[in-house]
Structure 1
Amino acid sequence: MSNARQAIKAARDASGPAAPASLIEAESLLNRAEDNLQKRAYKQARRDAIAARGKAAEALSSTRTVDDRNGAS
């Protein structure tokens, strides 16, 4: 879960105010993972956390692609 949180933070910091849909989805998945953890549904919590990390990585990648196209560094 910590990896997902860190990935979401990195994507959020890189995206600024205009968050890509994949970042919003990552945050939703992380919230669901945390809910599942509280319910002791560990397997589903792990799946959701891994999915959240993946979506956050996708959001970060898309943010960097847009920055590259716009000439930002």
Structure 2
Amino acid sequence: MQVLLIGAVALAASCQTTPPVQEMSDARQAIAVAREAGAEERAAIHLRAAETYLESAEQQLSARKYAEARYDAKQAKMKALDALRASESLPPAPREKSL
């Protein structure tokens, strides 16, 4: 029984020791899509939160804190998707009329 428990713990630990490459990529892509949808103007707070989480994930990745980097990358993706939804649900910002 102890051997199984040790094996399970080792397996769980090994899953978290790999860099979160896919999660980082997903977050970057979600932020790019939100920007393209106009989130910088229509959902700036959500977009900035996504960028902040991504910056944190990059720092954690550099420090080889992969579990923390994975968490922050997932949060960045979620915030970017929030920005995307918010920017798509709001009408475009009114433009000033030129004289």
- TM-score (normalised: structure 2): 0.65
Stretches of structure 2 lacking an aligned partner (at least 5 in a row)? 1-23, 93-99
Structure 1 runs not aligned, ≥5 long: 69-73
Structure ranking higher on relative contact order (CA contacts 8 Å, 6+ apart): 1
- Equivalenced residue count is 69
Structure 1 runs of 4+ aligned residues shifted over 4 Å read none
Which structure carries more helix by proportion?
Answer: 1
1:34 equivalent in alignment to 2:84: no
Q: Percent sequence identity over matched residues? A: 43
Establish whether residue 21 from structure 1 lines up as the match of residue 45 from structure 2: yes
1:26-55 residue CA offsets vs partner (Å, 9 max, x unmatched):
001001000000000000000000000000
Output the aligned Cα RMSD: 1.9
CA contact (8 A) 2:39 2:47 kept: no
Under a length normalisation based on structure 1, what TM-score does the superposition of the two structures give? 0.86
- Name the residue aligned to 1:7: 30
The structure that has the greater radius of gyration is: 2
